[in-house]
Each structure stands twice: as structure tokens, then as C-alpha cells.
Amino acid sequence: MGTEAAPYPPGADAPAGSGLSAADVRERTLAGLANGEPEESSRSLWQIFRANVLTLFNAIVGTCFLLLLVLGQWKDALFGFAAVSNAVIGVVQEYRAKKLLDRLAVLDAPLARVLRDGLVQEIPVAGVVLGDVAVLQAGDQIVADALILDEDGLEIDESLLTGESDPIGKDRGSSVLSGSTVTAGQGRARVVAVGAGSYASRLTAEAKRFSLVNSEIRNGIGRVLRWISWALLPVMVIITNGQMQAQGGWEEAFRTGAWVEAFVGAVAGAIAMIPLGLVLMTSVAFAVGGVRLARHNVLVQELAAVEGLARVDVLCIDKTGTLTEGKVILDGVHRAGRPAPAGWEEALGWFGADPHANATARCLAGTFTFDGGTAPAAVVPFSSTRKWSAASFPPPHAAAGTWVLGAPEMVFTEDLSTHDLSPSGAVLAHAGRLASSGLRTLVLAHTSAIMPDGGTEDVQLPSGLAAASLLTFREKVRPDAAQTLAYFRRQGVAVKILSGDDHRTVTAVAREVGLDVGRGYDARHLPSDAPLLEETLASHSVFGRVTPAQKKDMVLALQRMGHTVAMTGDGVNDALAIKEAEIGIAMDTAAPATKAVARLVLLDGRFDRLPAVLAEGRQVIANIERVSVLFLSKTTYAVVFSVVFGALMWSFPFLPRQLSATDGLTIGIPAFFLALMSNARRYEPGFLRRSLAMAVPAGLIIAAAVLAVNVYSAAAGGFSDTANRTASVLTLSLVALSVLAAISRPLSRLRLAIIVAMCAGLVLLLTIPALQDFFMLEWPPPGLAAAAVAAAVVAMCGVAVLSRVHARRYPVNQSP
């Protein structure tokens, strides 16, 4: 009963009106009223370079590095490689994030179809101007905000923008948003917003704002580096003066050339304070974690995101594409009060096989079949305005009569406020009960009358309809959703479902995946007041009819409440919330704009990949916390050395190259292996506090031991500078190895093997002539050697006691 209108081919005469003229287009283009793209991300390459390279911290390190090269002491400048690596890694990471944002686009249509000078033309999207008449057909993406001028069965899918999974019928005067897609029918619309003023462009511009993932590890290390940066200058003044005085004073040092050795000692003290290796080791651990996750089809778009999920305590998820596959399936067939007339299954088979059927009706084809014989005598295609479709079959067809499939309240009208319900009223009441459980409900109705074949204008329901059956539909839930959500519940991670669909439908899906969610909340009534919003979020877990702006506001509210938030989704409507969350996770089906702002992308769309991400994040943060004790203890004893030896005007007890050697044996090499080992410890907040609680006392113990050896050497007298430095290297190495053993507990075979190998490396360093020559070491005399060993043994006992105290105070650190 009616056919689809013919499409508007490019170059054809317009059905009505002529659109803009060429002169109108030129005038509006010159006036800046064209559909240009938003500007690129706010972070330029120069800004990225300046933020990672041109810092006070790098200025001090670079000055020390260049000073040693100028003085010809390149062997003592090995620390420069770590500093350069840190800067390069930082620039590369941020530049990759910038490139992703620069490619972000909500609109991906190659061309737009517009009416100009009476002809339909296809033009570049950027060429659309304000006032253009857009010609819309099924499959088109709408490239600018517009108002409908005329339509024929026009339906728009706005799910990517609003989260509502059902296509929306559009009538004359309705507005359509750029970025949405035409799913059925056709029409024309006048463009009312272009460029930066359009909805898609506003979304794109906000999503392109540059930001880095909030990493507690990176934040903690950055805080330490800022402290050190401010302490470096005054400490360098103290130690430089001390070294010059140890050489007989400034005048004497410059006269004799001893100032070179004094400056090398000052550089050694300054560089020893900087945990360069910790920054590099953190980046390596993040990178290796990213490679491991890639094997699970998880793309890590920012390295620090590997750590982030380990800290998450609230997981916000969208329904469509995350909990469900976005497909509608038949839930069940229910009696409508009397036996269904003959042919009802054949009729449902036809509705499912109809090429113009909507997504709900199409899913009937998997259950019911149509023999493909006699064609209907008349057809009324589905319309979102009517919310029903119909087909008439003449006798002697098995499904003879007229069948109507549609929303119960549109097929039957009844006053349900009365207690004496007619058969149709009983059907509506039954349908209401089914719909209240979150199921999409349709009614199949029948009458023996045959509809006349005519147009679709002002079509009326046939008379004499009686309900044949009620059909319920639901979205197909991902098979991995229930198991994955159960895992997060066991890990103490709260789940919030934020969807654009009806809250009853979302609640039904949540219950299907095993969530105890209580009643859903209609976000159209969500309070805008911050305290009330936070209270609502605390008391509900399921929210329906949530707009993109509300999703973002809800994520921010959860963060204000002290939560660490992860957000998953696949639509453009999720993009802003995904960007604001600590960890944004996009599904494989996500819109390009959503993937661009996400920190992680599940390449195969499997929701059950998230536990592996969580485990990898826990391994990274637990192991970095473990090895950070080594680096921060070094910073502590280096500060003590610099201040004490500078104040006492004694020669610094190490050369930079010697510190490089001890760092490698007691920190760098073992830290590399420890940072990559398995570690399932559950995250607890306070990474930096726990690390400093062990590192600072350990560093003081090491400094005290080395200072005791130097006090003995000064009192006994007669020892060369090389012997003194070697005794200091021996003492520092032995005590630092005991700190390594303490933070490696519980000891496994591999960890024990690493400690033994480092001890063997120390023996080789002190005994192989080539190494002795390069690092300027010689075995000290017996008295000095005995003093070094004795000081080390006492200090090692102190480390053991400290380790036990720390373990009792922070038992989380002792997890395997």
C-alpha cells in the first residue's frame, strides 16, 4: 500500500524550490559561513618540546653533562644517556597523543548532497554553507545541523551522539544534528549551523583539548623531581665550595688546576641526587606492559594508561556496544488472551523478511519463515510516526487477512483507568507489564478484512483488529559481560551504567548480566546542583536517557567524590566522558572520534579483556613502587653526601663514573628485571608515601655507613684518594645490595638469582684490572677495607630492622 519515493540523483531537478544560488554560496563562503573543520589540538609540537626538554631540571642536568665534556671527563658523563632518553620518551609520548587528537573527527562523510540553483549537487563537506538545502537519503551522514523542510518516512540514527539506540522519526520542522545518520526514508533540510557552531564541531573541539592520563606513578615521580630541582642549586653551591676548599681554596685550586677535580666531584654529588633511572625505568615498564597487552588485542594509546586501571574504583560503562552487542533479538511470544488465528507465524515470517523492515522486525526472520509464495495484496511500511506496519494477504493464503505489527498503544487505544477492561484493554495492560521490565514490546493484530492498495498518506488502521500475540524483544547481551562484571565486583570496583536508552530497558540488561542495581534513574530528572548530583550518583547504579554532557558531568562528579574513574563506550556520545575519565576505554566498534580520545582500545571488542588490563596495571604499579625505593634511597644518600661533605670541606667520596657503576649493580640492572616480573598485588593508594617511608631511612643508613668509613680514613690518615673512594664504593655497594634484598621479598628463585649476580658483579668490578683502571679503583689497605666491611655489616643490620618495621606498617608491599 504505497512505495518508497524515488531518490534525488545528483544533477536532477529539485522536487521543490531551487536552494541557494552560486552567488549566495560565494557571498556566504567569503563571510566565513562555510562548514570548515575545527582547529587542531591546543598543544603544538613546540609546546610539547618545551614542556619535556626546556625545564629547570633538564637545564641543570644538561649543564653538568656539558661541563664534564668540556673538561674532557667523558667517562664521568654516562648519566647523559639516561637524561636524553627520558626527554625523548616524553616528547614521543605526547606527540603521539597530539597526532591522535589532530586526526579526531566526528564527521567522516566524504561528500555532502545539497540543492543549488534548482539542481542536486554533491560537494565537499567543507563547502556546505549556512542556509544550504541538504538532500538526505538513507545511509547519508548529516554534515551540519539543520531543520527538516520536508520528509518521506525519514528516520535518523542519533545513537553515536545521544546514546539512544532506536532510530528517531523526523517530521517537518524537526532539528537534526550533524554527525547523525539517515537510516530510512528521505527528505530535505535547511542548514542552520556550520563549522565551529555545529554540534559535531563543538564535540570535536572539546574532545581535542590536550590532556595526559592522570598517573599516580608519574605524578609522584614528578613531585620528587620538582623537590630535587629546587634543592639542586643550593646544594651544588655548598658542595662546589666544599670541593674547592678541600683543594686548598678557590685561588689555590685555580692556580694548580685542581679545580677540575673539584668540579667533577661537585657534578658527582649533584647528579647522584637525581633519580634519572627511575624515570627511564617507569617508561620501560609502561612500554613493556603495552606490548603485553597488545598480545591480548588491547591497544595502549598512552603508556601511563597501563598503570591507570589498577587504581580504578569506579567503572562507568555504556550499555549499547559494551554490555550488549547493539543487536535486537526476540525474547519471547506471549498469548494475547485468546488462541492466535491461523497463519500468525507465516505473517511474522513475512514481517521479518520484508526488505524495508526495521531492526526490530528483522530479527523475527531467524525464528519465523515466510514461504515466499503469494505476495501481499497491500503493504503499509513501518513508520516511526505511525509506529506500526501492515500487510494484507488474500484467500486462500495461509495467512489470509490483514496483519498489523506495531507498538501496542498505537495499534489499540483504551482507557486503562477503568477496571472493566475490554479484550484490547487487557492486551494493553499485559503489554505494559512486559514493557515495565525493560523489554521492547510489540503486538501482532489480525482482521479478516483486506486493505485496499493505495498511498501511504493519511493511512488508517483497518477496523476489527484483534490481538493475535504479544512479542517481546531485548538487546543481545555480550557473552563475556556477566563474567567480567563479576570480576570487577570481587575486586571492589563499583559499576555505573550510563546509557542514552530508557532506564527501564537499561535496568533489565543490568539484571541480565548479574548486577544488583535496584531501580534505574531517568537522567532527564538528574539534578544540576553538584552536591545533589553526587548524592544521586552515590545512591544509584543505572542511569537512562543520559546526554553526552551529562555523562561528562557525572564522571567529573565521581572524581570530585574521590573516585578514580574508568569509562568505556563506543559512541561519539561517550567521547567527552571517556576523555575526562582517568582511563578511557573504547570498543572496537567505537566511532573514530571516541577511539582518538580513549587511552585504551579493545581491538577485538571483547569486554573480558579488561581483567587482563587490570592485572597488567597492577603489575606495573606494584613493581615500580618496589624499585622506586632503590632510586629514592640513592637520592637521599646523595643529598646527605653533598651537604655533609660540602660542609666539612672534604673531597667528595665518589667519581661520577663510580656512582654509575654502583647504580648499575645495586639499582639499574636489578630494577629492570624487578619492574617486569609478575606481581598481582592489589593497588592501595599512597605509592609515594610508602616508597619514601622505606627509601629515606635506608638512604640515611647508607650515608651514615659511608660517612663512618671516611671519618675513619681521615682519623687514620695515610690513605690515597683512590683507596678512600674504593672503600666508599665497597661500603655503599654492600649496604645498597641489602636494600635490594629487602625490597625483593618474598624472595623467589629468580629474585635471589638477581641478587647473587649483582654481588658477583661487585667482585668483578673490584678485582678485574681493566675495570679497576676505567673506574679508577684499587683494593684498599687491610685496615681501611676492614673498616668498610664493618660499617657495611652494621648498616645492613639496620636495613634488616627497617625492612621488618616497614613490612609491619605497610604489609601490602610484601605481597608476591
pLDDT tens-digit series, residues 408-428: 888 887 644 444 456 778 888
Rounded-to-integer distance, Cα 666 and Cα 732, Å: 9
User: Who's near 511: CB < 8 A, 6+ residues apart?
Assistant: 517
Residues of the chain with pLDDT under 50: 1-8, 10-16, 41, 104-108, 415-420, 813-816
> Is 371 among the catalytic positions?
no
The three-state secondary structure class of 625 is: helix
pLDDT for 11 equals 45
Find the catalytic residue in 145, 318, 354, 553.
318
Strands 324-335 and 298-300 turn out to be: unpaired
Bridge partners (DSSP) listed for residue 441:
472
The three-state secondary structure class of 260 is: helix
Bridge partners (DSSP) listed for residue 330:
473
pLDDT for 166 equals 59
Q: Cβ distance 112 to 127 under 8 Å?
A: yes
Neighbours of 340 (CB within 10 A): 17
* Cα dihedral 283, 287, 288, 292 sign: positive
> Domains of the chain (ranges plus CATH)?
22-32+106-207 (2.70.150.10), 216-281+619-814 (1.20.1110.10), 298-323+479-605 (3.40.50.1000), 328-476 (3.40.1110.10)
pLDDT for 104 equals 45
pLDDT for 812 equals 55
Rounded-to-integer distance, Cα 582 and Cα 428, Å: 46
pLDDT for 51 equals 66
pLDDT tens, position by position, 524-559? 889 988 899 999 999 999 998 888 788 889 999 999
pLDDT for 705 equals 95
pLDDT for 470 equals 93
CA dihedral 239, 241, 247, 248 (to 10 degrees): -150
pLDDT for 801 equals 95
